[in-house]
Chain A
Amino acid sequence: MKILVPVKRVASLDDEFELNDDGRDVDPDFCEFDLNEFDEYALEAAVQIKEAAPEGSVEVVVLTIGPDDADDVLRKALAKGADRAIRVDDAGLEEADRVAIARVIAKVAENEEPGLVLCGAQSADQGNAQTGMSVAALLGWARTAVVSKLDFTPGAATAQVERELEGGLVERIEVETPAVLTIQLGINTPRYASLRSIKQANAKPIECLTPHDVGLADAEIGGAGALSRVRRVFVPERGRGEIIAGTPSQQVARLLEIISEVNG
């Protein structure tokens, strides 16, 4: 049985950064890139299932969509216990939104036929929390979002999962497999991938595919397959603040002034 773990190379921003000329994204020069933290938990959950099963019976496949720079996160995933890595090149995916990305993942899932798809609950940089659920919708599989506990024996017809609700409630769900689950932080303790194991993972091949290779039609790729489009990214103007100084009566006078100003 296979477990497919789609992972994302996410950006974290410097304190100071600049936007691209088109104003629709941050200039990558001002970003540090790393494996999405949520995906680390999803990967760890998959690797723990594999390690609990008889040796060789479970294969953990990691998938990412991006340029060859994204191989870094696949290497890290391989170092952390994934068996095989696939990268779908993002050429032609510039205008892709999370649904268009989900189309790629869903196609790979159809080809690989995993028993489970484990996604991070969301990405650390964009936080849509939609990709995983979109994959499930496209595949028509059972799905559960924001899973905080996962109990699954490879080959079983169902997985037992738990979700945390408001007020300390826990919801226990039985999900039919194959299923798509999105994994919450804290479900486990992701292991550290030492630099040595990452270097050793360099020796493992990464399967590199194009969207066409995985079986997508032109009408499903990139902007054509997207349901939304980013118009602008910007930093909103900050609200003003003022510290009112002086004697209590001066302060009251200034406060009244501000109130009348705001009320117009």
Chain B
Amino acid sequence: MIPSGIDPSKVTRILFQDFSPWMLAIFYVYAIGCMAAFAWGVYAQVHKYRAGRRGTRLAWGDIGRRLLDTAKTIASHRTLRRRDTTAGRLHAFIFYGFTLLFIGTATITLQEDILGPLIGLEFWHGHFYLLFKLTMTLAGTGFICGLLYMMWRRGWLKPPKLDYARPDRTPQDADFSRERYRIEDWAFLWTLLLIGITGFLLSGARMVWLQNDPAVWDTRWWAPVGASIAAGLKAVGFTSAGAGALRMGLWWLHGVLALTFIALIPYTKAKHIFTAAASWLLRNPEAIRHLPLGDLDADRIGYRELGDVASRYLVQADACTKCGRCHEACPARAAGYPLSPRDVVLTLREQANTHLGEVLPKPRAAGCAAPLIGLATGEYRPETLWSCRQCGACTEICPVGVEHVPLINMLRRTLVDEGEMDPALQRTLGAVNKTGNCFNESRRKRPNWTKDLPFKIKDARKEPVDVLWFVGDYASFDPRNQKVSRAFARILHSAGIDFGILYEGETTAGNDVRRVGEEGLFQQLAEGNISTLGDCSFNRIVTTDPHSFNTLKNEYPDLGGTYDVSHASAFLKELMADGRITPARKLDFTVTYHDPCHLGRLNKGYDAPRELLAATGVKLVEMGKSRDNSFCCGGGGGRVWVPDPPGTTKVGEIRAREAAEIHGLDALVVNCPKCMTMLEDAVKTTGNERNFRVLELTELLAEALEPEEPAVLPAHAEVG
């Protein structure tokens, strides 16, 4: 590798070659100044984050697993590649390029400033040096390629999610403009690109300058980019002396740029290098399915002022890279509501920077008292917070682990506490409080849907059952969904399942009451249901309602109710696997399946429903947005109770139109009573009523289970 006659110890780069002492002094003063600026910036950010509330649920016992997960996620760029593969891969180029170059620089510092002076260890020469050069060349090339792609993407591809248009503001608003971010984005890219390019030019200029030193010149092709540049420089007539002057100029440009960049990291978007990792490490992986338990006796139940916000969310706000995935995924944004999850995050960031200081820390007491909700510049508007469906699309796709869903929920808790909400929602919550259901129906009417069944469902309050079916409001009171409930009851009955319901004793599980932000009412409902369930004897809970499923499974344990809870689709799949139900015929339909947020995204129940569909023999054509990318029906977060303002597009209509694009579609299959209500309405309002039906998975399965000729119902199995 090293040509003969060259002393391997000479094959190295002499640092600060030909520098006068005052140059060295200037360099070290500047470098130390930059480090100090960096350290100050870190201090200012940490001061900012510490102004938030404690109480992250980060368990220390868990830290090893969390660190490993964070390292894996960063190393694989898994979350960055989702729904934006090219950008994710090219970001990996930048990331790995930057990391290797940084390690390279750190290696030099290690020898020059630490190991060399201390123990006289010198290793940066010979074969190691040559491999080092090659590695740095590869890293620098990848780094520059990645940066060029990002510039091309921003400048020419211009994906709409990167235009930063704020749906929650109008151009007349003082905080409408995102120009500052746009300037910062370009400055960031150009700075990194210039650091990369000057590095290569510097390498080439040095080779020409030292062309008479064989230890440099004869090994130059180990840095092929630098060697090519050297060839170019020679070709345009650079002499050793001329190249020496060029090298000196480039050296200072490169050094000052790189050091300045480091100094600016904590104050610019470059801070995501640290905050993104921290955010992922601190994130609650349960964020969308399990909202924080509110302390009803505390001064405040929700976020009203900046100081109320959990520190973790302040770190997350700084981790956001404005990649726009949440903006793109948000159903409310897509339907034209004044909400973008990205702007929810950026609003928090801007409030924190304004009131707690990004460069110079501000007095904490005053900063913490800055209001979060209102109509003033920089505040969350109530209509923005009420637009959210709590569907989790934003949080689920966020590559850096920002938890928009609980953040919005905590802000809503304040609105509810102040009574600031749509009158329709107020009426519904009043009805839930009074009657235990959102239909404002008498408690006595809850089991009325069972009256048309040819058998009596057991009363789980009076006799032990194997399976306790928690029916839920929509499945109990809504006439369309009552049909589904009866179909499910018939399936369980004919499969010989020992099951029962709570009759009048059930109240709404409270999932959506909680997602509205009425934490007190949620806790009251949950405590009531837990007490009712505590008096019953059963082995497991099954429900057809994904909303009830979610809160029973994930949120009731906080209040002392821990159960084995299954959604109907998973339960039916089990029955099929056990051979307790068998499709009697194949259905000749073309269907598409709408993943309910609360079953799919929140609880990863993507496969059981599809397996049941496959068993019915239907042809399943997936919509563009399915599984984790499923698009909310519009009814989540309590929006099922609030009429959409006249003239707006309904979220469900977008979904109905998406389904309508499928050629020859017979049925849009839903798997949630609220989706049924929302999408049946949307199918009508988009004029698709005659094109396809909206069917529940359970209904479809019930149809497949029935033989063509009605058979005699098998005898009901003995009570277990």
Interface residues of A (CB under 8 A from B): 14-16, 32, 34, 80, 189, 191-200
Contacts and interface: CB of A to CB of B under 8 A. Distances in A.
A192 B426 contact: yes
B416 A194 contact: yes
Among A32, A34, A80, A189, the most chain B Cβ lie within 10 Å of the Cβ of A32
Nearest to B521: A195
Interface in B291-329: 294, 296-297, 301
B407 to A, nearest CB: 19
A196 B520 contact: yes
Given A15-B442, A15-B445, A195 B419 contact: no
A189 B423 contact: yes
A189 B519 CA distance: 22
Question: Can you list the 3 inter-chain pairs with the closest CB atoms, starting with the nearest?
Answer: A195-B520, A191-B419, A196-B520
Contact of A198 (B426, B444, B520, B523): B520
B520 A32 contact: no
Interface string B520-536: 11011000000000000
Contacts of A15: 442, 445
Interface class of chain B by DSSP: helix
Nearest to A80: B419
B421 A196 contact: no
B433 interface: yes
A192 B419 contact: yes
Given A32-B435, A189-B423, A199-B296, A194 B417 contact: yes
Contacts of A193: 419
Nearest to A192: B419
B518 interface: yes
Contact of A195 (B297, B435, B518): B518
A192 B296 contact: no
Interface in B385-438: 416-419, 421, 423, 426, 429-430, 433-435
A14 B442 contact: yes
A194 B444 contact: no
A114 B442 CA distance: 38
A194 B302 CA distance: 12
A4 B429 CA distance: 27
A197 B301 CA distance: 10
Contacts of A189: 423
Contact of B417 (A14, A32, A80, A197): A197
Interface of B: 294, 296-297, 301, 416-419, 421, 423, 426, 429-430, 433-435, 442, 444-445, 518-521, 523-524
B445 A195 contact: no
A196 B442 contact: no
A8 to B, nearest CB: 15
Contacts of B518: 194-195
6 contacts: A193-B419, A194-B518, A195-B520, A196-B301, A196-B417, A200-B297
Contacts of A16: 444
Given A32-B434, A32-B435, A199-B520, A192 B442 contact: no
Given A15-B442, A15-B445, A199-B296, A192 B421 contact: yes
Among A32, A34, A195, A200, the most chain B Cβ lie within 10 Å of the Cβ of A195
A14 B416 contact: no
A16 B521 CA distance: 28
A18 to B, nearest CB: 12
Contacts of B426: 192
Nearest to B426: A192
Nearest to B448: A15
A194 B444 CA distance: 25
A197 B418 CA distance: 9
Contacts of A14: 442, 444-445
Contacts of A191: 418-419
B87 to A, nearest CB: 43
Contacts of B442: 14-15, 32
B445 A194 contact: no
Contacts of B524: 195
A19 B429 CA distance: 29
Contacts of A32: 434-435, 442
B239 to A, nearest CB: 81
A147 B232 CA distance: 91
A43 to B, nearest CB: 12
Given A14-B444, A15-B442, 17 more contacts: A14-B442, A16-B444, A32-B442, A34-B434, A80-B419, A192-B421, A192-B426, A193-B419, A194-B301, A194-B416, A194-B521, A195-B433, A195-B519, A195-B521, A196-B294, A197-B520, A200-B297
A114 B315 CA distance: 53
Contact of A194 (B297, B419, B435): B419
Contacts of B419: 80, 191-194
A193 B416 CA distance: 8
A79 to B, nearest CB: 9
Among B297, B429, B442, the most chain A Cβ lie within 10 Å of the Cβ of B442
B296 A196 contact: yes
Contact of A192 (B297, B429, B434, B444): B429
Contacts of B520: 194-199
A15 B416 CA distance: 31
A56 B89 CA distance: 64
A80 B506 CA distance: 28
Contacts of A195: 296, 433, 518-521, 523-524
B414 to A, nearest CB: 10
Contacts of B301: 194, 196
A199 B523 CA distance: 12
Contacts of B423: 189
A200 B520 CA distance: 11
A36 B519 CA distance: 25
A124 B169 CA distance: 42
Nearest to A189: B423
Nearest to B436: A32
Nearest to B513: A195
A257 B521 CA distance: 60
Contacts of B421: 192
A104 to B, nearest CB: 26
B509 to A, nearest CB: 16
Contact of B416 (A34, A192, A199, A200): A192
A142 to B, nearest CB: 32
Contacts of A200: 296-297
A204 to B, nearest CB: 14
A191 B418 CA distance: 8
Contacts of B519: 195-196
Nearest to B444: A14
A28 to B, nearest CB: 13
Nearest to A191: B419
A216 B421 CA distance: 43
Contacts of B296: 195-196, 199-200
A188 to B, nearest CB: 11
Contacts of B435: 32
